[in-house]
Amino acid sequence: MTAAPVPVIRIQAEDFDVAAEIARLTEGNADVGAVVTFTGLCRDEGGRLAALELEHYPGMAEAEICRIAAEAMRRWPLLGLTAIHRHGMIPPGDDIVLVVAASTHRQAAFEAASFLMDFLKSRAPFWKKEHRADGFEGSWVDAREADDQAALRWRRR
């Protein structure tokens, strides 16, 4: 039994390579029997949006996702966990966020990836501003009550 893996957390402007991030968790680790990835992309909202601008709180964004990832490592027997969140101007169709969870069996990887995304949405300091295709000033995206509810479902009974 090797030591528990350290989650990989990156906040970056550039895009990520999903296949490379999966390989990082699986190469040389034949105990991995399940990898779940979640990729969040920018929508164009029916042609209305030219881009989303992602603002973040440098330092706290990394720290908060690290705290959420550490909690996921405590809750599930994971063999690897990666979270990458982009910032800056992101056009429709481009990636915003990636979570990769690896475990021996599928349930831990599915649940940990879902847990990480639910808490990331309600607790990681990122804010989306819409840039409209028609050139008018866009507005800040409102937080969704459903996202807070999604995080609450992980409360331990």
Residues that bind other proteins (CB under 8 A): 40, 54-57, 59-61, 63-64, 85, 96-97, 117, 120-129, 140-143, 147
**Are 124 and 65 contacting, i.e. CB atoms less than 8 angstroms apart?**
yes
What is the nearest approach in angstroms of other proteins to the Cβ of residue 6? 20
Nearest by Cα to 42 from 27, 60, 31, 54: 54
User: Is the CB of 35 or the CB of 54 nearer to other proteins?
Assistant: 54
What is the nearest approach in angstroms of other proteins to the Cβ of residue 86? 10
Amino acid at 148: D
What is the nearest approach in angstroms of other proteins to the Cβ of residue 103? 22
Strands 126-132 and 78-86: unpaired
Write down the residue that tokens 């409360």 correspond to.
155
**Are 13 and 87 contacting, i.e. CB atoms less than 8 angstroms apart?**
yes
What is the nearest approach in angstroms of other proteins to the Cβ of residue 83? 10
Question: How many Cβ atoms are within 10 Å of 7's Cβ, its own excluded?
Answer: 19
User: Is the CB of 5 or the CB of 125 nearer to other proteins?
Assistant: 125
User: Is the CB of 109 or the CB of 124 nearer to other proteins?
Assistant: 124
